[in-house]
Amino acid sequence: MKNLQPQGLWNNFYDLTQIPRPSGKKEEISAFLANYGRSLGLETIVDGIGNVIIRKPASPGYENHPGVILQGHMDMVPQKNNDTVFDFEKDPIEAYIDGEWVTAKGTTLGADNGIGVAAAMAILADKSVVHPPLEVLVTVDEETGMYGAFALEECQQVAFPFP
């Protein structure tokens, strides 16, 4: 999968498949995302419930443009085939390419919302993308009730003023 294009997107998605992340198991994935933002030198916040916010300043000349928020969630639906032995709290997803499809061996792939989070990560890392102020918000426990979104503090909900 790491040879697929765009490579940044698929490398990030593969990395996400290696972290067990069913709803309620947020510590490792929150830490991974926070470390990712910090490794890029970006302002990174982890709130009390585990939501991760990563802010990237605007490209030169775009500082006064309205900001863009890319939002996703870090948990996945833990479903497996009846004949598959798999522990979603410990095992990485066994992703593979089947013809033109990326799929998983006996389990859900975690593409909801792993591919969205991987795309946001790729945008944060890509220095060639010209952009206004960016904020990536990745919430916890969306699959079981949007608990991360509901727990956002008011001061975190709007990071950029909109006209």
Residue 160: pLDDT band (50, 70, 90) is very low
Total number of domains constituting the chain? 1
Residue 62 to residue 58: CA distance in whole angstroms: 6
| Per-residue pLDDT tens over the stretch 7-27 | 999 999 999 999 999 999 999
Cβ proximity of 122 and 6 under 8 Å: yes
Q: What is the pLDDT of residue 154?
A: 56
Residue 162 lies in a domain: no
Residue 15 lies in a domain: yes
Q: What is the CATH number of the domain that holds 149?
A: 3.40.630.10
Q: Which domain holds residue 117?
A: 7-155
| Average confidence score pLDDT of the chain | 92
| Per-residue pLDDT tens over the stretch 98-142 | 999 999 999 999 999 999 999 999 999 999 999 999 999 999 999
pTM score, two decimals?
0.91
Which positions are catalytic? 75, 142
